[in-house]
Amino acid sequence: MARGLGKGINVFFPELETQEEEVVQHVSVKSCRPNPYQPRKTFQADAIEELKESILEFGILQPLIVRESIKGYEIVAGERRFRAAKEAGLETIPVIIKKLTDQKMMELALLENLQREDLTPIEEAQAYANLIKEFNLTQDDLAKKLGKSRPYIANLTRLLSLPPSISALINNGELSMGHGRAILGLKDKNKLQPLIDKIRKENLNVRQVEQLITQLNEKKPKQKKTEERKDVFITERESQLRDHLGTSVKIQKGKRKGKIEIEFFSDDDLDRILGLFE
């Protein structure tokens, strides 16, 4: 059965705490509708079926949180229980009615799913982007509110620039968030589909994909008598910067001075990277 919201939610939303005993009401299932800000777009049928069987045997142990609307009630937290209750044929469900703004509804729905690790990386990224856009938040504001690091928010939202076909592979678990971040570094988009085919066929891990993309991005060097081997120290620092900045980084070490090349793909991406140095 789905777990309750947990103590952590109230840390972010003290308005959910009450000095009085919560009033649990039973309302018609037909009068409820899903949270319009629900970040999770897919619900596993077997999980809903399992929850339905539990509800038929024990009932709904954790009331849903809803807010009143013109057409009835909007579900703030507990959509899986709502779906399972409908499957079980229940006419009414237990709820606690709260007065919440649109922003609080969106944040609460996101946090509930994050606590249960229900969201795919793409769904999570889209939820962050929606919060930032709808309520004029900065990545730093959102990171502090959700208890995440700013680089984490920035790197995750970059996944939204991936083609829909690749986003679908991440959503169904065939590719990871790390794969997606690495793929963003491919310069020649004509090589994208062959790259994806190779990743899936050979089951390449993230590090292997990063190395492969580095090779694909390299221009053919002029013939040299001897090829210099890159310093292990430089390679490690490139990897650290790449993970922190979420983009390709190249360090060139000369006799007197060196230079660092950091790739970006748009003005927004440049602003994101510069923000990480603040």
- List the one residue out of 53, 41, 63 whose CA is nearest residue 1: 53
Distance separating alpha carbons of residues 113 and 79, to the nearest angstrom: 10
DSSP strand pairing (92-97 vs 64-69): parallel
CA 75-79-140 angle, 5° bins: 75
Residue 191 half-sphere exposure toward CB, CA atoms < 13 A: 15
Q: Where are the beta strands (DSSP E) in 47-186?
A: 64-69, 72-77, 92-97
Say whether 79 is catalytic: yes
Count, residues in the chain? 278
Angle at which helices 206-217 and 192-202 cross, to 10°: 150
Nearest to 75 by CA among 116, 112, 118, 45: 112
Out of 79, 112, 123, 238, the active site residue is: 79
Measure the CA–CA gap between 237 and 251, rounded to whole angstroms: 8
CA-based max dimension of the chain: 81
Burial class (CB in 10 A: 0-12, 13-18, 19+), 265: middle
List, by residue number, the catalytic residues.
Answer: 79
